[in-house]
Structure 1
Amino acid sequence: MKRPATDSPEEYGDDRLDGAKPPLKTRPVTSCSMCRQQKVKCDAGKMYPNACTRCAKLNKHCVVDPLYKPPKGSQLKSLMDDVHQLRQEIEMLRQPQQPAPVQTPVSVPPVTQMEQQQQQQSELHQMIPPQNHTHHPHHILHAPPHTPYPPHPHTQLPPLPQQPQAQIQAQIQAQSHPPHLPPITIHPNHTSKPVTTTTSASPSSTYTLNGVTLNNERVLRLHKRFVERYLPYLPILETHSPEELYEQSKLLFWTVMVTACQSDPNPQQYNQLWPHVKNLIIETCWLHTPRSTHVVQALLVLATWPLPNMKILDDWSYRLIGLAKNISLQLGLHRGEFVSEFSRSQVRMTDAVKWRTRSWMAIFFLEQVWCSSLGLPPTTQADSLINNAATKLPSFSFSILVRLSAFCSRLINLVGNSQTSADGLIPYDDRINVLAVINNELDIVAQQLDLSEPSAEMYYLNIRLMIAVFSFIGGTDTRFIMNAYNAATRAVAILCGLPYQITQYPIWMRQCASFAATVLFRLHLSPHLLPKYHETARGSVVALHAKFKQMVAHWPVDNDISRIAKVVEKLNRTIVTNPELFKTPGIVSRMRSHLSASLFYELIWIIHEAQRRNGGGNSQGVSTSNTGGRNTPTQQTASSSVAALTNNSSNGGNTAGAGTATNGGGATAAPSTNGSSGAAPINGIIKTDSDDPDPSMAPLQLERPPVVKDEQFNDFGFPPDLGVMDIMQDWMDGKGDDFLGWMDVNLSPEF
């Protein structure tokens, strides 16, 4: 049985809006637009010519419009946006009055804005067509007469305008948002410590984050510094002014500020900002649902210039990359121009496809960087956007980095993604053959790319070192010894010649230098490296350590720079206290499951094992004469090492033939006491940290412990009285420096 129509066709006539006739066999509209929007029961047909019960109760304008289509979206979100906007206006009115600045289209006094808003709302009501009950009895129903708002003093806000939410939002954006900027979405802040700022363009504007305030001059200077010095390394966003950046995303704005602070001569303001930026990340990404590409860009910037951390596992960067990737997949960044097929509640941005695609490429690249550094397999595979980076991006260093990262991903998939071995590596014989082919392919790729930029060349050298370390795990192929030596010395020479402080450069450049230091340290203790290159390798480590220590002295912040400097010092001390730990069948003999980072983890194990054997690193030396034929270090200065590196790298970066047995890195090796050659401490590296005042821990002042003969070592390089599980248990229970953050008492009983 069909429902009878309550309205007759004659009542609509021919003068309906737009002259459109209703479609045939459609249900007539008897509810007002307001009730249809809220999806509630309406009695407009019964109450005609008066307003419906709900509109009369709420003092709303009751209109029955068959052509009205309810807008999609959350009404609660719109209401929260209005409340947040009113709070901002209250804060603007509460501020002390200042001399009126020069009127600009962007800067309008708050009181003038309120008056203009009231005037526009009054004009909007006057534009509503008068009711005509003769021709439109059900189209426009009766509504209570509207009275304009009474005048209010400047210290009070007018009452909430009785207008639809869409009209209010359009008026606010039309008055407060410059026409040349992209549309923005204002999200409410639900924290107990809100992030407040004044969006006025006057010179007295300030930006505040949980009590840390930056004035307008400081913000402009930091913004300019970020655009000129940082953004070229990671060109994933476009920003013209800090005001625009703040309107786009508060997290992105404060990320730019805290990143640019890393170029300051002292870290005072940086230390004030970065804890609050961490809290802002939690609030933006966990407490709320991010729907903006700007949030992804902020996470990528923080992963490129990491926040301070004491341990490797305390570093947020790898987790931020995973978070950025998950958000990007939900927003459709991996699908390029198909953004319309994903969520419609995303924040709009100018040239969205370009910046969304670059952000996805940066996610892929940074995941390769951090996975190779931590020894983890990457989970993101190269897709069409990555493979077409040469055509999607202009000819600059970021395009080269993306192409090299795709090559690095292929390297890991071929060598370190075995489904049949527990350590993930393919058998050694097959691995060597694959590495030889990949090494030749990398030579061809290098000839096609422009590696003149230091950032691109250092990432290329990092892949060179990865190939070499893969060949060192489980054996030593002499074909890759000189490749590792040349790449490592060149990387150190590049970093030591950079003009700005190290914290300003992206993480892959710093990681490459640290990787080079560990490779050179291990090579100079290996018999596979020719003796004439030993001093050059030592000089490179000395120069890099001096660069890092100088940075730590002027920038006392816990990060990867201070951590690798401490690792080199501990390794230098271990040469004196426990040289037998370096006597292994190969370069990498104890660690296998950390891919190309196995060398670094093995050196960390050596440090902890030496501390365990010496009673937690507090063994006392009694004499420097009982060196047992060990080479004693000469006092090599950092300046001579840097000068030698500069001279050695001037001829195209090839330092293979620059070092000799007597003159390699700017210093000569001291003669052995008994004519034999052995492991010697790195020249010039003396422990001077205030946290270890024991002078007996310095090189040349420690007693050499009894040396275990070579035949007493098993296949793993351990003494026969200790098993592998015992060694790992002692490592976990060590009392010395925990570089990795693995010393967790809750995990100890499991071993």
Structure 2
Amino acid sequence: MTQKMNQLRLIIPDAKQGKVLKTCVRCRQHKTKCDAITTNPFPCSHCFKKNLSCKLDMVTTKRTTHTNVVNNEVYEKLTNEVEDLKVVLDKLIERRNNMVKLLIQRGAAIQKENMTPSVSQIQSCIQTPEDIPMTPTITASPTSDAFVISTNKSVAPIALTHKQAHILFNNYESNFNKYLPIFPDEFFTSLDLVKFNQENELLFWCIVFTSYLNNPIPNCSDNYKVLAEHIKSLVVEKCWFQTPRSVYVISSLLILTTWPIPNNSGKIGDHLAIKFISTMKSLSYQFGLHKLEFIDEFSHKTKMNISKDINLNNLIRERIYKFININSNYWLISLGLSNNNYNGFTQDYIINKSSNIDIYKDTSPCDHYINSMLKISMIQAKLNENMNVLLNDTNESIMMMPNQINTTKLINFNMFEIILNDLSKMLGKHDYLDNLISVSIEYSKLQLFIYSLSQSDITILEYKKYITKIVNCSFTILTLVKDLQFNQLPAYYKLPIEFSLLILIRIFKSPILNSYSDYQFVKNLINQFYKIIFSDSKWRFINSKLAKIVSKFDKLDNLFIIDKMKDVNGNPSFFLVNKMKNYLCFSLNYELIWLIFERERSDKMDEQSKGNKVINWDTFGISDDNYDFINYIKSNESVFI
């Protein structure tokens, strides 16, 4: 052993070549603990056991003449660049000082200078065909008795006298505020219109815009069209170009989604309600409306107070937050969009508490109405999400067998029908806007039953039972709204009325009903709904798109519609909705438009082709020898009386 140790020695390299480490080469390569320093002058334990030479590792740092030359060149180049930058910076500072002096001289020479027009005005001038400069904008002075809006230069300005504005605000308080109770009583009684217009211009004109709907002053319909263009520009200016600082901005957007600006565009993305809802939600979180107990942490630079009473302030702000969710659910469902946000959450503390706890408490009739509408809208959202999962090709539905999907659909039909019936019994105890709550429940049932119109594994007899339920729901809605003025109604009324009209027209133009009397009953309902919506010819432009769909679909040949009723394999089918299977509330609208499009695209059928078309009437539960009934269906009777 001694002889072996005498033969093996620890080799320590020359320190001049680099830094000598405390670990030998072998231990460093194998990443093991080295005790060479302790065993010196003998090898480390690992090298001794292996009978290997042990040499301490080292790190060499080679500095060559070439490296020094390169470094010197880099230093010299950087020094030159810094000197050049100093020269440029001195010139910029001198130029800036000269510009400041020049501006001061011009400012002293010109004391009265017109302000630069806003971005929205500039944008409007780009769109106008006029080549000459526009005249200065007329604005209302505090001592004037007129209120003027001219934010959109492509249309004429709107001017109101103080008396007209007072009439319009009183009209809004009497006929509209009850549907959207987000202002306290003192708001209208102690309101200085001139000061309010200066501080909250958007809300002022939104109230005026909405109040036009039931004609409190002359020329309301014409002014409504023009004011709509001004408000679109004003919303862009106040909500996008400027930073909103007041809760009144959210109140304005709530009004514009409850009594929406007319939209006749075919693109869902162009619908203003979607843009306003997105903005409202963002502002509500920025202002802290979802954290009422900690709202001071959110509102350092915002005007959050509506009343001098702190408790009333919290109540009103909570109502605003609830209506944001109500309007969001109604519009997103109606337009066939998902109401789930990107976090995966659709509810929060205030929403859950209001719809599941406060709704059972003895609250004021107004708050009970709001909580009831919130509860109904949440059920609608859950209903549509559940049914969409079953009808669309989602991860869950792909893994299910066809019989499982059909069974789950029927279970959901029965479950939500029971929930809505129980809800109707529970919420029908208060007098405040009972009709609106009942209409909303019937509207929810229509949304449920519309899913039954799509493809499923049921018989024609079972299918006709759902058709009967749809007709009964529509009749109930008609009974509740027939004495109301349509233009004055909020979206919670208008959407069910328009939806009922479209469903009934689709049913009337199909061979699904059982008898001639059933068709006459449905036809009578259609005409009553149509009369409610289009009772005033001056306001027909609000629903021009709906009128176009009804008029063109009524002219379609029944045999053409029946020929298009086929399943995915091209076989005859009695289901009324075939083209779209997800978010069927909107796809019913799409189905009608698609049939109109197909008819206009195809060549007109001549009389011979009509007579020779073979239809299997047994598919629709109609006997082939029932000639009178078949001839009635072929007669293409108009939906209008």
1:221 aligns with 2:167: yes
Aligned equivalent of 1:447: 425
* Contact 2:380-2:444 at 8 Å conserved across structures: yes
SS of 1:346 mapped into structure 2: coil
Q: Which amino acid aligns with 1:338?
A: F
Q: Structure 2 CA distance, aligned partners of 1:578 and 1:260?
A: 44
How big is the shift at 1:338?
A: 1.9
Picking from 327, 335, 338, the partner of 1:374 is 335
User: Per the alignment, in what secondary structure is the counterpart of residue 214 of structure 1?
Assistant: strand
What is the CA RMSD across the aligned residues, in angstroms? 3.4
Corresponding position of 2:158: 212
In the alignment, the residues of structure 1 paired with residue 634 and residue 225 of structure 2 have an alpha-carbon distance, to the nearest angstrom, of 41
Residues 1:254 and 2:205 aligned together: yes
Summarize deviations over 1:156-201 as a string: whole Å, max 9, x none. xxxxxxxxxxxxxxxxxxxxxxxxxxxxxxxx9876577833345x
The Cα of 1:327 is off from its aligned counterpart by 1.2
In the alignment, is residue 421 of structure 1 matched against residue 393 of structure 2? yes
2:498 is the alignment partner of 1:520: no
Give the secondary structure class of the aligned counterpart of 1:574: coil
Check the 8 A contact 1:542/1:682 in 2, yes or no: no
| Superposition deviation, residue 229 in structure 1 | 0.8
Structure 1 residue 480 corresponds to structure 2 residue 436:
no
User: Which residue number in structure 2 is paired with residue 457 of structure 1?
Assistant: 438
SS at match of 2:248: helix
Q: Please list every run of 5 or more consecutive structure 2 residues that lacks an aligned counterpart in the other structure.
A: 1-110, 122-135, 151-156, 567-572, 615-625
Q: Which amino acid aligns with 1:459?
A: S
DSSP-derived class of the 1:413 partner: helix
Deviation at 1:298, TM superposition (A): 0.3
Aligned to 1:542: 527
Does the CA contact (< 8 Å) of 2:511 and 2:633 recur in 1? no
Deviation at 1:622, TM superposition (A): 8.1
Structure 2 vs 1, CA of residues 191 and 538 (structure 1 numbering), >3 Å: closer, same or farther? closer
Q: Given the superposition, is the C-alpha separation of residues 274 and 436 from structure 1 closer, same or farther in structure 2, using an over 3 Å criterion? A: same
Contact 1:629 1:674 in 2 (8 A): no
| CA distance, structure 2, for counterparts of residue 461 and residue 366 of structure 1 | 17
Tell me, in whole angstroms, the C-alpha distance in 1 between the residues paired with 2:283 and 2:352: 22
State the distance in 1 between where 2:493 and 2:289 align: 26
Which residue is 1:273 aligned to? Answer: 227
SS in 2 for 1:207: strand
Indicate how the Cα distance of structure 1 residues 572 and 328 shifts in structure 2: closer, same or farther if over 3 A, else same: same
The residue number in structure 2 matching 1:107 is: none
* 8 Å Cα contact 2:554-2:639 kept in structure 1: no
Query: How far 1:523 moved relative to its partner?
Result: 2.5
Task: Give the letter for the 1:488 counterpart.
Answer: S
3-state SS of the aligned residue for 1:578? helix
> SS of the residue aligned with 2:338?
coil
TM-superposed CA distance for 1:212, in Å, is 2.0
CA separation of 1:309 and 1:189: change in aligned 2, threshold 3 A: same
Instruction: Write the distance in 1 (CA, Å) between the matches of 2:407 and 2:210.
Output: 45
Structure 1 residues 413 and 622: CA distance shift in structure 2, 3 A: closer
Structure having the higher helix fraction is 2
1:103-502 aligned within 5 A: 196-200=139-143, 205-210=145-150, 211-238=157-184, 239-240=187-188, 241=191, 242-243=193-194, 245-264=196-215, 266=219, 267-313=221-267, 314-349=270-305, 350=307, 351-379=312-340, 381-389=346-354, 391=358, 394-396=364-366, 397-417=369-389, 421-422=393-394, 427-450=405-428, 453-475=434-456, 477-478=462-463, 479-498=465-484, 500=485, 502=486
Q: Deviations over 1:95-149 (max 9, x none)?
A: xxxxxxxxxxxxxxxxxxxxxxxxxxxxxxxxxxxxxxxxxxxxxxxxxxxxxxx
Q: What is the aligned partner in structure 2 of residue 583 from structure 1?
A: 565
**What CA distance in whole angstroms lies between the structure 1 residues aligned with 2:632 and 2:333?**
35
Q: Which one-letter code corresponds to 1:209 in the other structure? A: I
Counterpart secondary structure, 2:321: helix
Cα offset for 1:332? Answer: 1.3
User: How far 1:542 moved relative to its partner?
Assistant: 2.1
1:678 to 618, 633, 637: 633
**Aligned-partner residue type, residue 237 of structure 1:** F
Work out whether residues 423 and 593 of structure 1, in 8 Å CA contact, stay in contact via their aligned partners in 2: no
TM-score normalized with structure 1 length: 0.55
Q: Is the 8 A contact 1:629 1:676 kept in 2?
A: no
Q: Which amino acid aligns with 1:409?
A: A
CA contact (8 A) 2:478 2:529 kept: yes
How far apart in 1 are the matches of 2:246 and 2:441?
32
CA contact (8 A) 2:510 2:558 kept: no
**1:629 positional shift:** 11
Shift of 1:675: 6.2
Deviation for aligned residue 1:453? 2.9
Alpha-carbon distance in structure 2 between the residues aligned to 1:353 and 1:674 = 62
Residues of 1 paired with 2:471 and 2:388: CA distance? Answer: 23
* Contact kept? 1:458, 1:491, Cα under 8 Å: yes
Q: Where does structure 1 lack aligned partners over 5 or more consecutive residues? A: 1-85, 92-187, 631-670, 687-751
Q: Check conservation: 1:376, 1:595, Cα contact below 8 A.
A: no
Structure 1 pair 488–363 and aligned structure 2 pair: CA distance change class (3 A) = same
Partner SS state of residue 556, structure 2? helix
Partner letter of residue 509 of structure 1? Y
Partners of 1:542 and 1:683 within 8 A in 2: no
For residues 195 and 406 of structure 1, the distance between their equivalents in structure 2, rounded to whole angstroms, comes to: 46
Tell me how far apart the structure 2 counterparts of residues 454 and 423 of structure 1 sit (CA, whole Å). Answer: 40
- What is the alpha-carbon distance in structure 2 between the residues aligned to residue 496 and residue 524 of structure 1? 21
Q: How many residues align?
A: 450
The question of whether the paired residues in 2 share the 8 Å contact of 1:473 and 1:589 is answered with yes
How far apart, CA to CA, are the structure 1 residues paired with 2:491 and 2:233? 22
Within 2, Cα distance between the matches of 1:462 and 1:257?
29
Pick one of 522, 546, 552 that aligns with 1:570.
552
Structure 2 equivalent of residue 613 of structure 1: 602
Counterpart of 1:285, as a letter, is C
Distance change in 2, residues 1:189/1:284 (3 Å):
same
Do the aligned partners of residues 484 and 674 (structure 1) sit closer, same or farther apart at CA in structure 2, a change above 3 Å counting? closer
Distance change >3 Å, CA 589–CA 189, structure 1 → 2: closer
- Specify whether residues 590 and 413 from structure 1 end up closer, same or farther in structure 2 by C-alpha distance, changes over 3 A only: closer
Is this contact kept in 1: 2:391–2:581, CA < 8 A? no
Q: Give the Å deviation of 1:673.
A: 6.9
Greater mean deviation of Cα atoms: 417-426 or 591-600: 417-426
Deviates more, 1:572-581 or 1:266-275: 572-581
Residue-by-residue CA offset, 1:601-620 (whole Å, 9 max, x unaligned): 11111111111113xxxx59
Instruction: Kindly name which structure, 1 or 2, has the bigger radius of gyration based on alpha carbons.
Output: 2
Taking a change above 3 Å as real, the CA distance of residues 682 and 511 of structure 1, as seen in their structure-2 partners, is farther
Distance 1:516 1:263 in 2: 23
Is residue 554 from structure 1 mapped to residue 532 from structure 2 by the alignment? no
Amino acid at match of 2:577: V
Identical-residue share of aligned pairs (%): 22
Give the superposition deviation at 1:290. Answer: 0.8
Check 1:679–1:330 CA distance in 2 against 1; reply closer, same or farther (3 A cut).
Answer: farther
Question: 1: distance between equivalents of 2:318 and 2:249?
Answer: 15
1:232 is paired with a residue of what secondary structure?
coil
Output the CA distance in 2 between the equivalents of 1:674 and 1:411: 37
In structure 1, C-alpha distance between the alignment counterparts of 2:195 and 2:304, rounded to whole Å: 13
Question: What's the secondary structure of 2:148's corresponding residue?
Answer: strand
Relative to structure 1, the CA distance from residue 414 to residue 249 in structure 2 (aligned partners, 3 Å threshold; closer, same or farther) is: same
Q: 2:97 aligns to what? A: none
User: Aligned to 1:208, what secondary structure does the other structure show?
Assistant: strand
The alignment partner of 2:244 has SS state of: coil
8 Å contact 1:470–1:595 — kept in the other structure? yes
* Structure 1 partner of 2:586: 597
* Aligned equivalents of 1:628, 1:492: Cα separation in 2: 40
